[in-house]
Structure 1
Amino acid sequence: MSDLNKRHASTAAVITGGAQGVGLAIAHQLVAEGCRRLVLAGRDAEKGARAVAELAELGGKVRFVPLDLQDVDACLGLIEKAVVELGTVDALVNAAALGARGTLLDTSPELWDEMFATNVRAPFFLMQGFVKHRLTQGGGGAIVNILSQCVHCGQSYLSAYSASKGALATLTKNVANAYRFDRIRCNAILPGWMDTPGEDATQRRYHGATDGWLERAEAAQPMGQLCKPHQLAGLASYLLSPDAGVMTGALIDYDQNVPGAYPE
């Protein structure tokens, strides 16, 4: 095991969804472990500026790039911009996603297309750009995709979302298999219900949540909390690091509830 304070000293990373929530937590973890070269991408320039300032105070050289995940050219261009900015890119985190609600019966074709463009097509072309760059560098590098426990099924109102995350799960394994001889590793984390700013907005928008919803929700969980981004970030950092060794193609459940388990 390498020195945690220096494990990512040579890492040059791109993180989508890096301005808040899981993406920002992973960025913080990488910087804490020595990473000094980061490109964060997301929709909100104001949040991006705040994230850059936070990480700069910790010693990171960080740039925020506005990114529309539904723009394929922008996704491909992100890796190119990051290479110009950082000199190289050897770590990619696909943390950004669309979590809109929709059942089998009320999901429109427009929502379906938006869901798959954001949650599947964007990571596909981001990984395409990343792998192409790594091959020019002789291989090596690591990808972490942030999925969801919805890969296993998902609630009825997350029909299209669950389908998109299931597609990304298969894509994770496909990429891992295709480029294992190039030493490019690709793994995924499947978190359960998470405590993030995005989840707070989602609960209020779609489920009528009021102040105190988080405390009520956590009181009902087996371990008395929702999944926390800063806890998950340690796992992501490990997967991106040389300490993960040959680990590739893994879909790691990250939750306090076990898929396939039933009430006693």
Structure 2
Amino acid sequence: MGLLDDKVVLVGGGTQGVGAAVARAAVREGAAVAVSGRRPEPGEALVAELSAAGGTALYVRADLADAEQAKASVAEVVDAYGRIDCLVNSAGLTSRGTLLDTTPELFDAHIAVNLKGPFFAMQAAVADMTARKAPGTIVNIITSSAHGGQPFLAPYVAAKAGLAGLTRNAAHAHRWDRIRINGLNIGWTATEGEDATQRAFHGAGDDWREQAAARLPMGRLGRPDDIADFVVFLLSERSGVVTGSVIDWDQNVLGGLD
């Protein structure tokens, strides 16, 4: 439908999983897209895929746990395209830790990837938008676990709950600049990263998706493509004036009890 015609979109952590699905959806809707991430192989492969499909795409190598690299990724997009219109922060670290066994190093790693990187990417993107006096949109991929989560997600929840608060704070601060900032609290989703996490931390076998789906109300896990379509909607003018919303994209209902 051309929801993002002529827009420049940076997807942080966009080389696989939900981020890659967002990049594909944004190109399909007419955007020029940049994806950032640490590993060049999947990033360059995705850019080749998008380019072969007729899209305009760029890979930016960046470790988004590093605030300076997060800011530099935005600067590289502005250098390449002349501006940034939309930012999606989709990078995430999901390694496990409880309140009792989380080390300071693990805690810092979660803060770096799940909160600090998005903060400074947003800072750089909003600086470009305000300097041009141009509107823009930002979507932060958060997690339904930000409401509390499982005991083994303590540092992850701490960081992502911070990102939910940052989303609202920044949206309020820049609403008069016509910069809309929203977040998605996504639920359990079938991604490459989740597969690796289930195998590494929970001893999951090849059928873990089927077993998980059987325990979920809709009979399946979330799909990156579904999330991507929702993100594109929030990035586009079709979502109207909505800003400062952190939307629960999940099949479990907060506060609902059986």
What TM-score results when the alignment is normalised by the length of structure 1?
0.96
Deviation at 1:66, TM superposition (A): 1.3
Q: Which residue of 1 aligns with 2:236?
A: 241
Contact 1:176 1:187 in 2 (8 A): yes
Residue ranges of structure 1 left out of the alignment (5+ in a row): none
Is 2:176 the partner of 1:181? Answer: yes
Q: For the residues of structure 2 that align with 1:59 and 1:238, how far apart are their CA atoms?
A: 21
Aligned to 1:167, which of 162, 165, 172? 162
Contact 2:13 2:64 in 1 (8 A): no
Is 2:194 the partner of 1:218? Answer: no
> 1:125-136, aligned counterparts within 5 Å?
125-136=120-131
Q: For the residues of structure 1 that align with 2:108 and 2:206, how far apart are their CA atoms?
A: 33
Q: For the residues of structure 2 that align with 1:14 and 1:124, how far apart are their CA atoms?
A: 14
Deviates more, 1:67-76 or 1:165-174: 67-76
RMSD, matched Cα: 0.8
Q: For the residues of structure 1 that align with 2:240 and 2:249, how far apart are their CA atoms?
A: 20
Is 2:9 the partner of 1:13? Answer: yes
Contact 2:26 2:232 in 1 (8 A): yes
Q: Which residue of 2 aligns with 1:32?
A: 28
Is 2:143 the partner of 1:144? Answer: no
Is 2:77 the partner of 1:87? Answer: no
Contact 2:61 2:73 in 1 (8 A): no
> 1:19-98, aligned counterparts within 5 Å?
19-35=15-31, 37-98=32-93
The amino acid across from 2:228 in the alignment is A
The amino acid across from 1:218 in the alignment is A
Deviation at 1:7, TM superposition (A): 1.6
Deviation at 1:70, TM superposition (A): 2.1
Deviation at 1:213, TM superposition (A): 0.9
Q: Deviations over 1:204-232 (max 9, x none)?
A: 00000011111111122111100100011
Q: For the residues of structure 1 that align with 2:122 and 2:111, how far apart are their CA atoms?
A: 15
Q: For the residues of structure 1 that align with 2:229 and 2:60, how far apart are their CA atoms?
A: 24
Contact 1:15 1:40 in 2 (8 A): yes
Q: For the residues of structure 1 that align with 2:168 and 2:134, how far apart are their CA atoms?
A: 18
Deviation at 1:139, TM superposition (A): 2.9
SS at match of 1:232: helix
Q: Deviations over 1:44-92 (max 9, x none)?
A: 1111111111111222111111111122211111111100111211000
Contact 2:3 2:232 in 1 (8 A): no
Deviates more, 1:101-110 or 1:48-57: 48-57
What TM-score results when the alignment is normalised by the length of structure 2?
0.98
Q: For the residues of structure 1 that align with 2:14 and 2:237, how far apart are their CA atoms?
A: 22
Is 2:200 the partner of 1:205? Answer: yes
Q: Which residue of 2 aligns with 1:113?
A: 108
Kindly report structure 1 stretches of 4+ aligned residues shifted beyond 6 Å: none
The sequence identity of aligned pairs, in percent, is 45
SS at match of 1:139: coil
User: How many residues are matched?
Assistant: 258
Q: Deviations over 1:178-223 (max 9, x none)?
A: 0000000000011110100000000000000011111111122111
Deviates more, 1:45-54 or 1:176-185: 45-54
Q: For the residues of structure 2 that align with 1:82 and 1:34, how far apart are their CA atoms?
A: 17
Deviates more, 1:41-50 or 1:171-180: 41-50
The amino acid across from 2:29 in the alignment is E
SS at match of 2:185: strand
Q: For the residues of structure 1 that align with 2:73 and 2:61, how far apart are their CA atoms?
A: 9
Residue ranges of structure 2 left out of the alignment (5+ in a row): none
Q: For the residues of structure 1 that align with 2:178 and 2:207, how far apart are their CA atoms?
A: 46
Q: For the residues of structure 1 that align with 2:23 and 2:60, how far apart are their CA atoms?
A: 14
Contact 1:31 1:58 in 2 (8 A): no
